[in-house]
Amino acid sequence: MRKKIAGFMIAGVLVLALGLVSIPAQAEWTFGPVGGYYSPNFGPINEELDEHGDLYGTDFAFEAGMMYGLALGYNGNSHFGLRLEYNSFESKKSDDFWSHSVEYSDYWDLDLSLTVTPVILSGIYRFFVFYIGAGVGWFPTEIKVTGTLESYQAGVLYYGGPVLDSRSASAIGILGLAGLEYRGGWFFGGLEARYIVAEGELEDWDLQQILDSKIDLSGFEACVTAGFRF
């Protein structure tokens, strides 16, 4: 089903792109920042981190936050436009905990970070100040684990050292968007809401079964757009 939806969205962007070429008008370029509040589902990763929290009393689950970047737009006429974005999102969590076995007691002090740097191409159709659109994007994702581990045997420090691991995922996503935009002279600015559908599979890893291999980046984003017209 998702593949069918992705196909329709991609087809929609292509239709808008063809509209830019086929309809003669005064073209313009736009450039400026874009950013807002992004709330991904996270999915199996956060489910595993919540289970870890129930077992060890930790709070490693990733949270929503700000995503920001730059956007380059091309408007073939007053209705049709294309926009290319490069964005960045990061969620960081830190905590420490003890884990115990028959022989050892391990003290972990860890920092987890999740970074997503999507590149998104969207097609936009404007109705005066209101617009709608659809897009496709590439969502490279990296999760890093850093910190220290101290291993004790019978209360005596047996081993101490750094913890360092990272895994990446690459997902192709789709999105739908709608917004309001003010365009006056050389300046434009607006408000936009979008829903992203994207899921990636991390490279295999197992840090005491803390993390699952799937990450769901689907979710809402409410953002502000602004910049220059030329």
Quote the domain boundaries for residue 138.
Answer: 2-229
How confident is the model at residue 206, as a pLDDT?
A: 52
CA distance 198 to 226: 26
pLDDT tens for 102-148 read: 888 999 999 999 999 999 999 999 998 999 999 999 999 999 999 99
User: Are 211 and 42 a contacting pair, CB within 8 Å?
Assistant: no
pLDDT tens for 176-186 read: 999 999 988 89
pLDDT tens for 160-177 read: 999 998 888 889 999 999
The CATH number of residue 140's host domain is: 2.40.160.20
How confident is the model at residue 128, as a pLDDT?
A: 86
Amino acid letter for position 77: N
How confident is the model at residue 184, as a pLDDT?
A: 86
For the beta carbon of residue 5, count every other beta carbon within 10 angstroms: 12
How confident is the model at residue 204, as a pLDDT?
A: 61
How confident is the model at residue 113, as a pLDDT?
A: 97
For the beta carbon of residue 145, count every other beta carbon within 10 angstroms: 19
Tokens in use for 5?
A: 């939806």
CA distance 54 to 52: 5
Count of domains observed in the chain: 1
CA distance 23 to 15: 12
How confident is the model at residue 222, as a pLDDT?
A: 98
Average pLDDT, the chain: 87
Residues present in the chain in total? 230
Question: Binning pLDDT at 50, 70 and 90, where does residue 3 land?
Answer: very low
How confident is the model at residue 28, as a pLDDT?
A: 92
CA atoms within 13 A on the CB side of 28: 16
